[in-house]
């Protein structure tokens, strides 16, 4: 029920996700610590953010190894103890830097996407 059709769109999304999904994770943690399942569900609410829920965990491990995210084990009010993920100060810096780059990158892409129509008019005029 969660399978995507393999094809150009999947490949395109994979390309777009590469390098951006981790910042979405950092952004989610900017609002406070979260446990794995919670994070995965938040990401899953927006279609196209991840290939499958399980692929978020290798990403979280990587962020932890890179020092952008820290983990703590804690008893949970219900169920087994959970691993909570928190943003570190390095993580916050990385997120801020990305947010700036992303804004100008998005504007640059929009510039060309929006300018597409104008160009044709000039050519024919």
Partner 1 sequence: MMNTTVADQLVAGYLARLDAALSDLPAARREELLEQVREHIATARAELGDEAGEAQIRTLLDRLGDPATIAAEAGERPAEPTPARPGWREIGALVLLPIGGIVIPVIGWFIGVALLWSSDHWSARSKLIGTLVVPGGLALPLALGSFATWTEHCSSNPEPLGGARESVCTGGPPGWWEILGPVTFGLLLLAPIATVIYLGLQLRRGPSIAPAMS
**Interface residues with partner 1 (CB under 8 A)?**
1-2, 19, 35-37, 40, 44, 51-55, 57-62, 66, 76, 78-80, 82-83
Q: How far is CA 18 from CA 22, 55, 59, 77, in A?
A: 8, 12, 11, 35
Q: How far is CA 48 from CA 12, 45, 85, 95, in A?
A: 10, 9, 23, 21
Provide, rounded to whole angstroms, the least separation between the CB of residue 116 and partner 1.
Answer: 31
With beta carbons less than 8 A apart as the criterion, state whether 94 and 63 touch. no
C-beta closer to partner 1: residue 27 or 71: 71
Provide, rounded to whole angstroms, the least separation between the CB of residue 51 and partner 1.
Answer: 6
C-beta closer to partner 1: residue 83 or 106: 83
């Amino acid at each position: 029920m969660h399978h995507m059709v393999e094809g150009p769109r999947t490949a395109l999304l994979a390309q777009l996700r590469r390098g951006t999904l981790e910042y979405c994770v950092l952004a989610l943690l900017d609002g406070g610590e979260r446990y794995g399942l919670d994070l995965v569900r938040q990401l899953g609410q927006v279609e196209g953010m991840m290939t499958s829920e399980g692929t978020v965990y290798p990403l979280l491990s990587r962020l932890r190894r890179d020092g952008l995210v820290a983990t703590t084990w804690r008893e949970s009010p219900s169920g087994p103890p959970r691993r909570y993920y928190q943003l570190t100060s390095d993580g916050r810096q990385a997120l801020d830097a990305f947010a700036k780059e992303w804004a100008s990158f998005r504007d640059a892409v929009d510039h060309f996407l929006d300018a597409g129509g104008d160009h044709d008019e000039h050519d024919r005029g």
